[in-house]
Amino acid sequence: MGIKNLMKLLTKNTPDAISEIQPIELKNKKVAIDTSIILYQFITAIRSSGADLKNKDGKSTSHIHGILIKTLNCLKVGIIPVHIFDGKPPELKMKILNDRMKIKKNALSKLDKIQENKTIEKEEKIKLLKMSVSISQEEMSEAIEIVNLLGVPVINAPEEADSQCAYLSINDLVDYVASEDMDLLTFGTKKLLKNFMKKTMYCIDLEDILNHGEITMDQFIDLCILLGCDYTDTILGIGLKRAWDIIKKYKSLDKFIEKDPKIASNTYVLPSNFRYEESREYFKNPRHINEFELNLSIPKLDELKMLLINKYNFDEEHIEKLIGFLRKKHNLYDKTNYVNDPFIDDDIKVSKKKVKSKK
């Protein structure tokens, strides 16, 4: 989820902090990618067609197509992608993860029940397919293998990718961070890319948010907690306008809880699981690692090709079209065999025609 309605609030109160950006502007820039989010997006888009992409053994390969296409898109325009994969989630997030797991299990249960019901609407089936999206540890490992063979840096975060991405940004180790989760800003990401590599991509500048909004970073964190984050329950009745007004007036959650008459009169009731102090501390001091390699290396294209053909049943000719530009760039084969392929615009509208597998 990230931070509830934060994009709407920023659009209204600090619009100058949000700007459109084109992929070409990211040439030679390092972009940390919240990869789990990218994979979820891709798989959800694939399921809009009513089914996953699969190999001849019936195993889903949607995650492989997703990581391959997104990474190649970056490399084609000269972006240096840095894939950040989730580790173990913090204890603070277990409640919301358990809630999400219940939703997924419920969707899967409904899907099982409707398999024999031929009259069910296609739209309802697709809705349930999207709700049941999950990525296994095995699939994550397979995605990492693809990225490694492409010569692209990978970091396995000790906890969630969000805080690791933010660490790279705060320390100027990357130029941008790409994610759909707005809490990357709450962790301190300087420049966040939304709709990454899509036709309309946005850059959100944290410094501009603080300057134009006339708030401090501590106040911004408290604002995000009020709006609703993944680490604590929220106060019923406080929407984006009221949250903004509270922070502007009281400057902190502590002062709001201490002095607001609506708290004293129980008009606003603090939930039993209102762990705002722990959430605040986690946003400020999350776990991260500081030993990693962020440079591109020579891709192992032949090894990648054999893996895609033998394990995931990709079409050989199509593979060469996808990776041809890398062969040419690194002089990894006779240039006369180079197959030119136009820039792949996935735009989260991926079709099985664009990324072919052998049936």
User: Could you confirm whether domain 215-284 is CATH 1.10.150.20?
Assistant: yes
For residues 323 and 305, the answer to whether their CB atoms sit within 8 Å is yes
Locate tokens 């136009």: which residue? Answer: 342
Position 344 scores a pLDDT of 38
Residue type, 27: K
Give the pLDDT of residue 130.
Answer: 57
* Sign of CA pseudo-dihedral 243, 17, 31, 317: positive
Q: Could you tell me the CA-to-CA distances from 40 to 35, 44, 95, 203 in Å, in that order? A: 9, 6, 20, 21
User: Residue 199: its pLDDT value, please?
Assistant: 87
All structural domains of the chain with their residue ranges: 6-210, 215-284
Burial of 251 (0-12, 13-18, 19+ CB in 10 A): middle
Residues of the chain short of pLDDT 50, as ranges, are 334-359
Query: In whole angstroms, what is the distance from residue 197 CA to residue 165 CA?
Result: 18
- What is d(CA 228, CA 246) in angstroms, rounded to the nearest whole number? 14
* Cα–Cα nearest to 13, from 194, 209, 287: 209
For the segment 263-308, what is each residue's pLDDT rounded down to a tens digit? Answer: 988 899 999 889 999 999 999 999 999 989 999 999 999 999 999 9
* Position 345, amino acid: D
Cβ atoms of 259 and 303 within 8 Å: the answer is: no
* Nearest partner of 165 among 333, 312, 36, 26, judged by Cα: 36
Predicted confidence at residue 118, as pLDDT, reads 55
Average pLDDT, the chain: 86
Secondary-structure percent of the chain, ordered helix, strand, coil, rounded to 5: 50, 10, 40
pLDDT, residue 352, reads 38
Contacts 24+ apart (CB under 8 A), 168-172: 168/32, 168/82, 168/84, 168/294, 169/32
In single-letter form, the type of residue at position 195 comes to: N
The pLDDT score that the predictor gives to residue 136 is 86
Residue 76 · residue 87 · CB < 8 Å: no
Q: Domain 6-210 classified CATH 3.10.20.30?
A: no
pLDDT at 37: 85
**What's CA 71's distance to the chain center, in Å?**
14
Indicate the pTM of the whole model: 0.85
Task: Give pLDDT, residue 284.
Answer: 97
What is the strand order of the sheet 201-205 is part of? 18-21, 201-205, 191-194, 176-178, 30-34, 80-85, 154-156
